[in-house]
Structure 1
Amino acid sequence: MSAKEFHMTGAAALVIAHCAGMLDLVALPVWVGALVERFGFSPQQAGMMATLFLLGAVAASAFAAPLFARLNQKALAVLGFAVASATFLAASTQTSLTMLSLLHLVAGISVGIALSMVHGTMGHAANPHRLFAAAGMALGLFGIVLLAAIPQLLILRGGPVLFQVFAGVMAIAAISSALLFRNPPRQVEHARTPFSRATWYTIFGISIMTFNQSMVFSFVEVIGKARGFEPSNVLAVLIALGFVNFLVPAPLATFLQTRVSAPLMAQIGPGIQAVLAVIVTSATVFPLWAPAAAVFVAVQIFTHTFVFGLLAKLDPTGRAAAATPAMLMVGAALAPIIGGALGQNFGFAALGATAVAVSIVSIGFFTKAKAESTAFTPSLAS
């Protein structure tokens, strides 16, 4: 099939699967918060379980991405989401740290494999930047529903409902993938070509940026309540965050696609993220804290849309795009447990200081990537 036909027939499945696979990006605050408040785990233990989920996804994606062109993408996407659904359903029946930790790891592995197939296939679309932006917009809408519904369901039905909702999300992704997913056209001639230095620097830059994203966002709800803000106000900020994610980053990234340099946007993103992280982790006045928390995730979504489109150009085989879960989650995997340890032992302001240092490293990698792109493939730097 042509690239245009592939894009039209498979886009819906890819967008739905992206929302399910990127569940952690929008659900981490209520996820970690529920593990602390509803299951009685410490912030560090809750962070560890989120970390195990993310580590499983990283390992699975790192294994599957290099093999992307030789795999049956649809079959693995369906299988991965189906196994994740069953695993989360099992988690809803458990309360022990050991069993929940193991199930988080298994779910992460399953999601990582499925999401690698989804993102690698997105990389073969007619316009990967625009498709990823559309998926980001859908993720914002998904986040609105999730962040509004889960806290209320937790009040009504207790902690297990968190994992029941996750199981349902994964089941929907498995069904839609089975019905609508289309494997991309085979392009194996360059499948074993090593990544360029620009590709690697871009991968490192976005991976490090996601460390900040996950470290701070995982504890937004906990930080808000620790600052003495009313729980209803904190919930309102999380819902507003979902609306911001839906209305701002993806449409703005689509509008700016041909108007600004993708490498430049990648350089700017981590700096803005660091400023917001300092406000979110240090502000004690709600009118200052709330806007920063509400737009925090949008910066990551906006920046990564440009990075995804850039990687699709740098590596036309789809392998770099298929490694997107590993890029997003390798930093995020370590962040919840590190963030929990920092917050528990040094106070949440320590997360902001760490975010500034990490953002400098991320900007450095994006700067190197821009230099390599300009030197060897000038068209990619614009």
Structure 2
Amino acid sequence: MTTESWRGRIALMAAHCAGMVDLVALPVWVGTLIERYRFSPQQAGLLATLFLVGAVLSSLVFAPRFNRLNARLAAVAGYAAAALVFLAASRTSEFALLALLHAMAGATAACGLSFTHGTIARSANPHRLFAIVGMALGVFAILFLGATPNLLASFGGPALFTVFAGVMAVAALASAVAFPRGVVRSDEDLIAEVSHLPRAVWFGIAGISLMALTQAMLFSFIERIGVDRGFGTEAVTGVLIALGFVNLLPAPLAAVLETRLPARHVLLAGPVCQALIAVTITFGSGFIAYAAPTAVFAAVMIFTHTFAFGLLSRLDPTARALAGTPAMLMIGAAIGPILGGTLVQLFGYPALGLGAVVISSAAVVMFSRVFAARGAATTTTLEIA
């Protein structure tokens, strides 16, 4: 089974959706913890943060070992364990136990995701394949955001963790049946394996992490913003479903524009668009000012990250950096829910918009350094030659 077969790609789609569930589920997740479990915004944000912290630490452990372990077995084991942990979470409402289970769920799911993204990075065209799994995530978002609120209304808060367990179980099964092998490494890749990652890669990792921080900080409270402004649960759920449909577009669009749109332009514009949307959501008034920017908010991250993924796959042929995608995404996202909850509790929702401006500005600086460092490395190589 290879990354160029559709059976292999479908397995990667399922694994990507499971591992990236936080990108889709955070509004419902945090909202459920506040509404159904009666936790404060700060407590709810902390639980989501613990999931993401577990994911970061797990990815930091497994990403450097991507080329030494069996990717298929690691993905199956990670997602199967995550399914069991989420099932256990559905059986308790105690904060301390939920905190432990959130951290364990993040660690196990990120194990599977690290090997999923590392395998994608070792495909013939990582940009295109990442766009394909990104489109699958858009479909998953529609199904999740359309069905989960109704399940919560019928069965209560534990239904959320039961759904998560089911998603992880499907990913484990798909990985067991059809998880693909990456492209065989060249001699140059083997030499690069023992070298340090280029500075440009580290700047790219920092930029993605900062965008993930902005994404998680605001996205965690998207549902609460709409409900607290009096738009009603049905209207807010409709906006989230619309967001899922919009999320179908950025990944295939990024694939089509791969050779037509310079990665530099996308990476510098992405954080700026993120900040503008965040300010519009948190400072706007009226339903349209809330609904329209909310529907496109996640799409900005998906589109920008697809270009970043393709660029980093070229800068790091070993795929170690991209096997660490959960870490680079979730080290920022881990801080987002607890930071957002603290800002909301102390200063209200507008503070989220102001925070997004500051963080997005830093992301622009980091992405600009990717190309400066890349250019310096190219110049040095030419001088040596």
Normalised TM-score (structure 2): 0.95
The residue aligned with 1:220 is: 222
- AA partner of residue 18 (structure 1): H
Residue by residue over 1:233-271, the C-alpha shift from the partner in whole angstroms, topping out at 9 and shown as x without a partner, is 11110000000001x201210111000111221111000
Assess if the C-alpha contact under 8 Å between 1:69 and 1:186 holds in 2: no
The residue aligned with 2:254 is: 253
Distance 2:364 2:282 in 1: 21
After superposing the two structures, state which structure 1 stretch, 9-18 or 158-167, moved more: 9-18
- AA partner of residue 111 (structure 1): A
Which sections of structure 1, spanning at least 5 residues, go unmatched? none
The residue aligned with 1:178 is: 176
Matched, 1:206 2:208: yes
The residue aligned with 1:192 is: 194
Assess if the C-alpha contact under 8 Å between 2:114 and 2:324 holds in 1: yes
The residue aligned with 1:50 is: 48
SS of alignment partner, residue 196 of structure 2: coil
After superposing the two structures, state which structure 1 stretch, 213-222 or 275-284, moved more: 275-284
Residue by residue over 1:32-86, the C-alpha shift from the partner in whole angstroms, topping out at 9 and shown as x without a partner, is 1111111111111110000000000000001111111111111110000000000
The residue aligned with 2:290 is: 289
The residue aligned with 2:4 is: 7
Assess if the C-alpha contact under 8 Å between 2:86 and 2:161 holds in 1: yes
Distance 2:195 2:109 in 1: 26
Distance 1:348 1:116 in 2: 33
The residue aligned with 2:382 is: none
- May I ask how many residue pairs the two structures share in their alignment? 374
Distance 2:3 2:202 in 1: 28
Q: Name which of 114, 117, 132 aligns with 1:116.
A: 114
After superposing the two structures, state which structure 1 stretch, 311-320 or 185-194, moved more: 185-194
Matched, 1:29 2:30: no
Distance 1:256 1:374 in 2: 23
Distance 1:233 1:358 in 2: 30
The residue aligned with 2:233 is: 231
Assess if the C-alpha contact under 8 Å between 2:124 and 2:183 holds in 1: no
Percent identical residues: 53
Matched, 1:125 2:123: yes
1:1-382 matches, within 5 Å, as 5-8=2-5, 9-185=7-183, 187=185, 188-246=190-248, 248-377=249-378
Distance 1:6 1:367 in 2: 32
Assess if the C-alpha contact under 8 Å between 2:3 and 2:120 holds in 1: no
**How far did 1:184 drift?**
2.4
**How far did 1:289 drift?**
1.3
- AA partner of residue 124 (structure 1): R
**How far did 1:202 drift?**
0.5
**How far did 1:185 drift?**
4.5
**How far did 1:225 drift?**
1.0
Which sections of structure 2, spanning at least 5 residues, go unmatched? 380-385
Residue by residue over 1:253-292, the C-alpha shift from the partner in whole angstroms, topping out at 9 and shown as x without a partner, is 0111000111221111000000000111121211111100
Assess if the C-alpha contact under 8 Å between 1:72 and 1:183 holds in 2: no
**How far did 1:229 drift?**
1.3
Assess if the C-alpha contact under 8 Å between 1:124 and 1:318 holds in 2: yes
| Runs of 4+ residues over 3 Å off in structure 1 | 185-189
- AA partner of residue 106 (structure 1): M
Distance 1:353 1:227 in 2: 19
Assess if the C-alpha contact under 8 Å between 1:263 and 1:307 holds in 2: no
**How far did 1:186 drift?**
5.0
Residue by residue over 1:190-209, the C-alpha shift from the partner in whole angstroms, topping out at 9 and shown as x without a partner, is 22211101111001001111
CA RMSD after TM alignment: 1.2
Normalised TM-score (structure 1): 0.96
SS of alignment partner, residue 70 of structure 1: coil
Assess if the C-alpha contact under 8 Å between 2:210 and 2:363 holds in 1: yes
